[in-house]
Amino acid sequence: MRRMTNRRSARLLAVLTATAAVATLGVAAAPAFTGSGQDADREPSKKPVAVGHGGAVSSVDADASAAGIKVLKQGGNAVDAAVATAAALGVTEPYSAGVGGGGYFVSYDAASGKIRTLDGRETAPKSADEKLFQEDGKALPFDEVVTSGLSVGTPGTPATWEKALGKWGTKPLGKVLAPAEKLARDGFKVDKTFRRQTADNEERFRKFPDTVDLFMPGGKLPETGSTMRNPDLARTYDTMAREGTGPLYDGAIADDIVETVRKPPVDPDGGEKVRNGDLTREDLKAYKIKKQAPSHTRYRGLDVFGMAPSSSGGTTVGEALNILERGDLGELSKKQLLHRYIEASRVAFADRGRWVGDPAAEDVPTKELLSQRFADSRACLIKDDEVLKSPVAPGDPRDPADCGSGDKAAPTTYEGESTTHLTTADKWGNVVAYTLTIEQTGGSGITVPGRGFLLNNELTDFSFEAADPDVHDPNLPGPGKRPRSSMSPTIVLDDGKPAFALGSPGGATIITTVLQSMINHVDRGMRLDKALNAPRASQRNAAKTEIEPKLYDSGVRPELEKLGHSFTEIEELGAATAVQPLPDGRWLAAAEKERRGGGSAMVVRPSKK
C-alpha cells in the first residue's frame, strides 16, 4: 500500500496552516446570511471564500448557499444542507439544475468514517434501443434532438433528495425545502449571468409558451436587477413538502411530465416542429435511486473517493491520478507539469470512451480501470519530450500490456456544461459533494406547464451511434439505461478523515477541472481556494487542448507548442466549489471568484477580523 511521503504530508500541512493564518487575519472571512429570498430587501453577500465554525456551504449562488446555511443553523446536518442548497439552486439556477433533472450525491459519514453514494442519474424510457437517435440508418442532428421530448429522461433529482434525507438526513423534506419554496414565491434578483443564459436560449425558449411565460415575463428578456418569481415551482415544492416525491413519479405531476414529453406544448402559431418523446407513466413509477459503492483510488497517500459508473468521473479522475503518481509533480516546471497533466487526461479519456457505461446494462471493468497496474501500463505511453497523437486508442484494463492499445478510439460525446455543483459540511464533521444537472443550459427548453421547472435533455449524453461498428460502444441508448456522465463529486480522506471535498459543472470538462484542481492543491501546494481559481486546461482525447485566456496568453503556451501541443482558447472551464476542514477546527468554504459570475462560500459562524 502506498503511503503519503513525508514531503507531501509536510507540504499539505503547511498549506492548511497558512490557510488558517490568512483566515485569522480576516482576509478569507465572508459574512453569513441568515435568511433567503429578499428578506429586508437585501441579498446574501456573494463571496468566494469563507472561514469559520459550525459548518460550511459552497455553491454558485448566494441565495442557495444561504438556504443551506439556514438549515445548518436550525440543527440540520450536511445532508440536509445539501438538499436545501440544491432545491434553492432549482429556483435561482433553473437552467442548470432542478427537479426535472438528475445527479450524483457523495457523502462522508463522520460517525462511521464511510463514504456513501447515490446514483440519481436520469434513465431512458423502457422503449429505447440503440437506434433511439437514428433515422433511416443515420444519426439525427443534435440540435433537432436536444430541444425535444426525445431527449428527456426520467428525472432523478427529487428521488435523490428524498433518499438522501431518508437515509442520512435529520430533517424532513418539507423543512429542508422551506427556504427554496420561500425563495421561489418571493423571488430573486436577476444577475448578468441569468440574463445572458436566457438570451442565449431565447430562440428555442420561444418555441414553448410556458417557458416564455416563466422566464421571459411579458415576452421580454428579464432585466438585470429585476425580481424573478416562480409561484408554480413554489407550489410544486409545497406539494413535495406535504406529500413527498410520490406525485412526481406516480401522481398528478407525473401525468403532467409524461404529457409534456409525449406531446411538447409548442406555440400553436409558431409553426415549429418538435419531436415527441416516449416516456411513460410506467417509466416514472419504476425509477429507482442506486445506492452503490464509491470509486476509490490512492494518491500520494490520500484516499480519493468519487462516483462510480454510470458516471465516468470517478474512474477517469482516478486513472489519471494513478498515471501521474509515477513522478513528483511538485518538482516539475510549469511546462512539464501541464504537459504530463494534459497527456494523462488524454489517455484516461481514451479508456473512458471504450469502457464506461451504465453497469446495469454493460460489463464495466471499474476495479480494473482504477488499478495501478493498468495505469502503469498506460503511463509508459507518455514521454516528456513529445506529444501523443489524438485520438489515442484505448488500452485493455482486464489484460494490461505495457504501452498497449487496442480498439479504435471512441469520440467524447457532447455533454452540456450548465450543470451545477455544491459542497457542504457540518459541525459534526459530515461532508457532502453533490453535482446535479438538467444537461445543457436550459435543458430541453421545455417547461412542464403549471409546475415551474424545465425538463432535462440528459439522453443526449448517450452516443448517437457507435464510433466503429465493429467495436462495442458501452454508451449507446437502451431500455431504462442511464447515459454516461462526467460528473465528478469527490471527497478526499487523509487517514480516514476529510482532507477536502470538491466538484464542478462543465460537461466532460468536469473531469479535468477536478483533476487539475487536485493537482494544484496536493502537488503544487496551492491553498484550496487558489487551486480552484487557477487557470485551467482541458484535454479529452482530442487534437487540440482547450485552455483559458490566462494560460493562452502566458509564456507557457509557446513552450508547450514546441513540444507539439495544439490549443484552442476558451472563455472558462468549470465552476468549482469545495470545502475543507482546517487544523484549528474551522471550515474553509471555497468557490469561484470570476467563472460564471463568481460563486458563494458561506460558513455558519464566520471568523472575526
475-494 per-position pLDDT tens digit: 999 999 999 999 999 999 99
- Cell numbers 504537459 correspond to what residue? 339
Residue from 260, 419, 435, 447 carrying the catalytic annotation = 419
- The mean pLDDT value for 352-375 works out to 97
Q: Give residue 96's pLDDT band: very low, low, confident or very high (50, 70, 90).
A: very high
**CB distance 10 to 39 below 8 Å:** no
Q: What is the pLDDT of residue 64?
A: 98
Q: E-assigned strands of 161-225?
A: 188-189
On the question of pLDDT at 531 being above 60, the answer is yes
Mean pLDDT lowest for which of 46-55, 185-194, 335-344, 405-414? Answer: 405-414
Is 507 among the annotated ligand-binding positions? Answer: yes
More confident residue, 324 or 402: 324
Q: What is the pLDDT of residue 415?
A: 62
With b for 16 or more beta-carbon neighbours within 10 A and e for fewer, the 158-197 pattern comes to bbbbbbbbeebbebebebbbbbbbbbbbbbbbbbebbbeb
Is 404 among the annotated ligand-binding positions? Answer: no
Reduced 3-state DSSP string for 25-53: CCCCCCCCCCCCCCHHHCCCCCCCEEEEE
366-375 per-position pLDDT tens digit: 999 999 999 9
On the question of pLDDT at 159 being above 80, the answer is yes
Query: What domains can be seen in the chain, in order of their start residue?
Result: 6-19+26-286+413-606 (3.60.20.40)
- Please provide the average confidence, as pLDDT, over all residues in the chain: 92
251-293 per-position pLDDT tens digit: 999 999 999 999 999 988 877 889 999 999 999 999 999 999 9
388-397 per-position pLDDT tens digit: 998 999 999 9
Cell triple for 414? 457532447
Q: What is the pLDDT of residue 407?
A: 67
Q: What is the pLDDT of residue 470?
A: 84
Q: How many CB atoms lie within 10 A of CB 471?
A: 14
- The mean pLDDT value for 133-161 works out to 96
**Does 419 qualify as catalytic in the annotation?**
yes
- The mean pLDDT value for 422-429 works out to 98
**CB distance 316 to 397 below 8 Å:** no
- The mean pLDDT value for 302-327 works out to 97
Reduced 3-state DSSP string for 434-469: EEEECCCCCCCCCECCCCCCECCCHHHHCCCCCCCC
Alpha carbon distance 192, 328 (integer Å)? 42
Is 36 among the annotated ligand-binding positions? Answer: no
**Three-state DSSP class for 575?**
coil
On the question of pLDDT at 10 being above 80, the answer is no
335: left (phi over 0), alpha (psi -120 to 50) or beta: alpha
Cell triple for 455? 425538463
